[in-house]
Amino acid sequence: MNRGAFAPLRLDAVRIGVGGRALILPLTFDVAPGECVTVMGPSGCGKSTLLAFISGTIDPAFVVTGRVLIGATDITAMAPEARRVGMQFQDDLLFPHLSVGENLAFALRPHVRDRTERRARIEHALAEADLAGFARRDPATLSGGQRARVALMRTLLAEPDVLLLDEPFNKLDAQLRGDFRRFVFDHAAERGLPTLLVTHDATDARAAGGRVIDLAWPLSR
């Protein structure tokens, strides 16, 4: 199942069209393990659609050609749940019916069977997010920054092979934004995840420190 860590994310001639109009012209690039590539462009240029395509949740109204691979595995036709593509949105989307710990337990893979071991993993993840002892808390009682960190830990506990970031810093204020950015990039680099960031904010792209692909220029041609 696991294609093993340290495999690159590869987009091969991905073209997305809607209603006969090309939203994204054929796009080919690799994201190496531990690298963070930023896709930039104004709103409506299709950058979020690109992430939805990679994660397998794209609206069927879009016409897409091309392939997505992780290492040598073609995941283009796979069900979203089989891809091991982690997603982080601008809303934290913590499940309101579960406690903080249960949100993380939902993500933790079931191969960790032993209950004390599961609890230990969750406590460890919370400690990494500076939230030790928060397991029983209601997500609604957390601050925006705390919720964002829980959401990232939830994504990582599912052991993804790739990390997709859909403007995850947008709703945070300037101070939190810098802290959370570092938090995300450090964790992604530590795990050697190929990371794809979508944003329209140039400071996000600079902080990511990797290559930048600007979707605006091929459309202006």
**Can you give the binding site for another protein, defined by CB under 8 A?**
52, 55-57, 79-87, 89, 91, 93, 95-98, 101-102, 105-110, 112, 118, 154-155, 158, 160
For the bound state, the minimum distance from the C-beta of residue 206 to another protein, rounded and expressed in Å, comes to 27
Q: Which is nearer to another protein, 156 or 205 (CB)?
A: 156
Q: Which is nearer to another protein, 83 or 181 (CB)?
A: 83
Q: Which is nearer to another protein, 109 or 124 (CB)?
A: 109
Query: How far from chain centre, in Å, is Cα 149?
Result: 13
Q: Which is nearer to another protein, 36 or 94 (CB)?
A: 94
For the bound state, the minimum distance from the C-beta of residue 30 to another protein, rounded and expressed in Å, comes to 21
Distance CA 164, CA 167 (A): 10
Distance CA 69, CA 54 (A): 9
Q: Which is nearer to another protein, 10 or 154 (CB)?
A: 154
For the bound state, the minimum distance from the C-beta of residue 80 to another protein, rounded and expressed in Å, comes to 4
Distance CA 95, CA 88 (A): 14
For the bound state, the minimum distance from the C-beta of residue 86 to another protein, rounded and expressed in Å, comes to 6
Distance CA 9, CA 160 (A): 12
Q: Which is nearer to another protein, 106 or 217 (CB)?
A: 106
For the bound state, the minimum distance from the C-beta of residue 213 to another protein, rounded and expressed in Å, comes to 22
For the bound state, the minimum distance from the C-beta of residue 105 to another protein, rounded and expressed in Å, comes to 4
